[in-house]
Chains A and B, each alone.
Chain A
Amino acid sequence: MATTLPMIDYEKIKKVHDAPLEEFYTSGHRTCQGCESALVMRDFAKASGPRTIATGATGCMYVANTSYQTTPWVIPWMHTQLGAGGASAVGMAAGIRALMRKGKIAKEKINIINFSGDLGGADMGLSGISAALQTDYDLLIILYDNESAANTDIQATGLSTYGAVTTFTPSGKKRRIMQRRWKKNVAPMLAIGHPTCRYVATASATFPALDFMNKTRKALNVGGPTFIHTFDPCPKGWDFHPGYSRELGELGIKCGIFPLYEILDGKVTYTYDPHKKGRIPVRDYLVKQGRFAHLIDEDFDYIQGMVDTMWEEWELPGIAPIKSGLEMASR
């Protein structure tokens, strides 16, 4: 059963001065100085407006947002368990649909937005998110990716960059690099595997300006289950001065290590297209973070090589690790 509720027709924010002024996620959260994930919360709440319910899986943004019986949320917000992001969104959407069917609440569009961190969303909660994207409910799942389990003092996850120092992957004398996994491509995995999910995007809270807010609005306008993966530089875990968190996000996108795109009904549009705008060396991005302080030239070359492969050899550049020239096994 597809939804028959009236949709909220969100307008695209064209100029920075047109961004809504009112906050629905406001001051008084115990996040780090210069936290980009807090900006993701602020921007999606601002873009979606007051008729929104947020659910958050355990992670930095849950613990920081409930500093002992206080909250910065203006919109209703619910905490759920670490891997339960997708399930909580489905449950909430189903509950609201049932209440509307029974006439207990007015029939109107209520946005359901779940945010899960990279451990809660991409590692533990991946199956739940996958299941949520197979439903016909209107829900948006935001994966805020600070590349570690940052709440518990930085443990490696499936989304940590190759070579990064975390509490699980310290650099040692015998083995310089302990994080030897390449970053998981969550957004394309979900886009390719879920035809019911019409809109998948990647974004960064601050670069390009307004991009994340507009992607949130687009996802809500498209309706059905949708997914956005955001790239959030984390001053604590990546070890850089908090003042530079915007700059790090911009460099990460410009060097191509985090591709920026949206996939609407199977059609890919690059928000920042390195084929047109070029890529800066990955090194420029890596050397500005303490977590890569142990890397040597060899490692920089390896990471650069992997990023080059992403953009030059993959069938969907930067997105899907499938190379052209594959033939059927029975040739």
Chain B
Amino acid sequence: MIKRVEVQYRGVFQKTLGKYIGGDIVQIASRMGKVAFSNGRYSDAPERNGIPCKYFAFVSPDLSEAELEAECGSSYNADNVDVSVVVDDAMAQGVEPWGWHGIRPVNEKVGHKACLLVVTRRNHEHLLRFTAKKPQPYRLATLEGDASMAGLWVFKDDLTRERCLGAVAAVDPGIISIEAVEEYLLDTGKDADRARAARDAYEATLRRIKVVNPDQGIDWPHEIPVLPKWHEFEEGGVAIPAVKRGFKLGPRGQNRNDGFKHGTSKTERPVVRFDLCIKCTLCWADCPDECFDPTDDGLYDINYEVCTGCHKCADVCPVKECIVMVPELQFEDEKSPWEQHKKDPAGYIQWAEDKKGSTRIRYRHVTGEGVEKYKATPVPRNMDGPGQKEAL
């Protein structure tokens, strides 16, 4: 018997966290007398900031090391997992790690009666508004917490690692037991708080496991591409057709790479108040992902399908409150905001302000140093002409 665990994490930002959780599961399982090993998904390398990646841990109580490795070591992906740990809840909207992969549901590999464990502050119902329906029932567990983001060499020691281990023990004691987790953390961490955090997470998670029936979730809106066979590729094997040239003003006017969108890298998306825009072009000019579409009235529409949520536009925008980053799980579609604004300007402002709320987060320069919360000052709702200057 093999128990499979996958950790779905944000590339680079949570690389160390993913690796630690996988490695810890192996250590704990081996203390319990089981055979285990852990590896990253080969195709995720080289990792980029924000891209959805996976780390795996395989545990077996009865197989030998060689047998376990033969079974799991060479495969680049696990087809059915017993526990899928998602350390950033924004990935519930789907994951697209590379080209020809498509945007796939976060619970794709969760098997029959297996568990999807999400680190989130939202409830089950909210998450089920984004996750796809599965043909068999599975379990959904939540572990209260924020996405723990750090950098390539930085590990943000905020106990997410220990709490995830406790939660894994809660959702599937067949992989690791909470006693073994505690013992391991006491031995290695020399700090009783770590073991206590795992135990608390274990008990909290036990109360937050719900069975998801086949009718719960959404019909998956994205098409999953079928990979061409080797003989169907272009002659020569490596000649790739370029993006067809094409540009016109307006939403989706620029031809883009259809095989890979990159939009699932974002945890936050920019919301624009078009009425405050001074048409300085900076957001469009500085966007490394070319997600802004120039329109005929001099504004810049956003194509959320390809936006990676890097914050750059919000940082360079000279107008206060014009571009603000908003957590991704508040949005259910990727409709053009400019079209909404054209259709109903007042309604759009209302919608944008509702999404933005009044609490803002400012990130520190160095990743992993945490965030700073502050209250936003309200900007008048109907501004035209001279009023715009005051907003600067």
Contacts and interface: CB of A to CB of B under 8 A. Distances in A.
**A-B interaction:** yes
Given A34-B288, A243-B315, A64 B48 contact: yes
A25 B285 CA distance: 13
A95 to B, nearest CB: 16
Interface string B28-46: 0000000000000001011
B288 to A, nearest CB: 4
A72 B98 CA distance: 13
Given A28-B262, A288-B366, A71 B243 contact: yes
B232 to A, nearest CB: 11
A138 B306 CA distance: 35
Interface in B267-325: 280-282, 285-291, 294, 303, 306, 308-312, 314-316
Interface string B224-244: 000000000100000011111
Given A42-B290, A241-B311, A70 B366 contact: no
Given A70-B240, A288-B366, A289-B365, A27 B256 contact: yes
Contacts of A170: 153
Contacts, number: 203
Interface of A is mostly: loop
B48 A240 contact: no
B260 interface: yes
A163 to B, nearest CB: 14
- Greatest chain B CB density within 10 A among A60, A76, A237, A245 is at A245
Given A67-B99, A241-B365, A27 B312 contact: no
B254 interface: yes
A159 interface: no
Contacts of A236: 12, 48-49, 151-152
A97 interface: no
Given A32-B50, A74-B243, A289-B366, A27 B286 contact: no
B304 to A, nearest CB: 11
B366 A290 contact: yes
A68 B99 contact: yes
A36 B285 CA distance: 12
B363 A26 contact: no
Question: Which of B51, B310, B363 lies at the interface centre, i.e. has the most chain A CB atoms within 10 A of its CB?
Answer: B310
A156 B233 CA distance: 37
Interface stretch (A15-23, A104-112, A119-127): A15-23
Interface residues of B, number: 64
Nearest to B254: A23
Contacts of A33: 48-50, 265-266, 308-311
Contacts of A50: 245
Contacts of B45: 153
Interface in A34-88: 34-36, 38-39, 42, 50, 60, 63-64, 66-77
B242 A69 contact: no
B257 A27 contact: yes
B243 A31 contact: no
Interface of B: 12, 43, 45-51, 98-101, 151-154, 233, 240-245, 247, 249, 254-262, 265-266, 280-282, 285-291, 294, 303, 306, 308-312, 314-316, 363-368
25 contacts: A16-B280, A22-B247, A26-B290, A27-B289, A28-B261, A28-B306, A30-B51, A33-B266, A34-B288, A39-B287, A67-B98, A67-B99, A68-B101, A70-B258, A70-B259, A77-B242, A153-B47, A170-B153, A241-B363, A241-B365, A243-B314, A243-B363, A245-B312, A289-B366, A290-B367
Q: Which 7 pairs between the two chains have the least Cβ-Cβ distance?
A: A28-B257, A243-B311, A70-B259, A33-B310, A67-B99, A70-B99, A32-B49
